[in-house]
Amino acid sequence: MAADPGAPIGVFDSGLGGLTTVRELRTLLPGEDILYFGDTGRVPYGTRGRDTIVDYTRQDIAFLLSKHVKTIIAACGTVSSTYPAEEGRALPVGYTGVVQAAAHAALKVTKTGRVGILGTEATVRSGSYQVALAAGDRKVKSFACACPLFVPLVENGHFAPDDPMAHLAAEEYLGPIKEAGVDTVILGCTHYPLLWGVLERQFGPGVALIDPGRQAALAMRDKLAQEAMLNPRETGGRVEYYVSDEPSRFNALAGIFLPEDAAASARQIHVEKYDLDLILKGAMPGVE
């Protein structure tokens, strides 16, 4: 599977939230084609056990490889925190999650060395951000908090800066992190950047928020440039969307995450039929 600079960037997520990363990639790299897969039939991942998340991730990656993407971004905070890094390194194309780029950005921004991490239950349980922060600076203190209601709130349109339900949930979750006196907070789940205005008000002006999707997109731009793998075209990149559930909900909600492509329309695939081992052996014909 030789990678070709003209091939698409593969982006995947447990559902719609990874479109926040697509938005950043479209802004930074408008000439790139993107192939997006959202596992809408099996979302959420964030409440599931490790083995299930890893199995789902292997199938998601197998689908993207079957489409000959040149590199893969796991936009999902839960996948990025759970899928083993050594498996990612063994793939025939580059694979990256969002954790390293976001932790790196947080370490650059924090002055007090006190960093908050918000994510799904699986992300917080994995300790991925805590480990990445400590690897960059052993003196940094991290404070993590799972915010399970944030995903359904966003998907139901409750993300305006003054939304009362979003503020109620934020107050319920964020007390200990605020009390810890953090000056930087990583929004470690695809949906949380949509709550930027709410979280800015909650934390106040002295706290910097980090969007992992944006940081991963910036890191991807640099990596593709270093590897001479950028699409030579400067504009006109297109996005193809695939989902595992019937696409109507994706098509209705995509505009929340990607206002520039509100008319995005997805095709359904049967992701459970994609077997990573077979794809890697070249023994699996395309199935959709």
Residues that bind ligand DGL (CB under 6 A): 13-15, 17, 43-46, 76-78, 120, 123, 151, 189-191
Q: Which two tokens stand for residue 274?
A: 């994609």
Token representation of residue 38:
């959202």
Decide if 71 contacts 45 (C-beta within 8 A).
no
Catalytic member of 22, 29, 64, 76: 76
189 is catalytic: yes
- To ligand DGL, the closest distance from the beta carbon of 225 in angstroms equals 26
Residue of 53, 170, 189, 208 marked catalytic? 189
- Minimum distance of ligand DGL from residue 252's CB (angstroms): 17
Least CB distance to ligand DGL at residue 200 (A):
20
Between helices 99-109 and 128-136, what is the axis angle to 10°? 50
186-208: string of b/e by CB count within 10 Å (b at 16+)? bbbbbbbbbbeebbeebbeeebb
Taking the least distance from each CB to ligand DGL, the nearer of 44 and 88 is 44
CA gap 144, 186 in Å, rounded:
9
CA distance 221 to 224: 5
**Residue among 7 and 102 whose Cβ is closer to ligand DGL:** 102
- Report the residue number, 98 or 230, with the smaller CB distance to ligand DGL: 98
Residues 17 and 151: their CA atoms lie apart, in Å, by 9
Read off the tokens for 260. 């520039």
Residue 11 vs 65, nearer CB to ligand DGL: 11
Least CB distance from residue 113 to ligand DGL, whole Å? 25
In angstroms, what CA-CA distances link 94 with 17, 215, 229, 258, 270?
22, 17, 11, 25, 24
Instruction: Report, in Å, the least distance between residue 2 CB and ligand DGL.
Output: 31
Q: What residue has token string 């039939």?
A: 41
Which residue from 159, 193, 259 is spatially nearest to 13, judged by alpha carbons? 193
Cis peptide before 176 (omega within 30 of 0): no
Nearer to ligand DGL, 257 or 274 (CB): 257
Closest to ligand DGL by CB, 3 or 145: 145
Rounded least distance, CB 215 to ligand DGL, Å: 14
Q: Give the amino acid at 25.
A: L
Residues linked to residue 73 through DSSP beta bridges, in sequence order: 11, 96
User: Closest Cα partner for 230 from 221, 238, 239, 243?
Assistant: 221
Closest-CB residue for ligand DGL?
Answer: 46
Residues marked active site are found at 76, 189
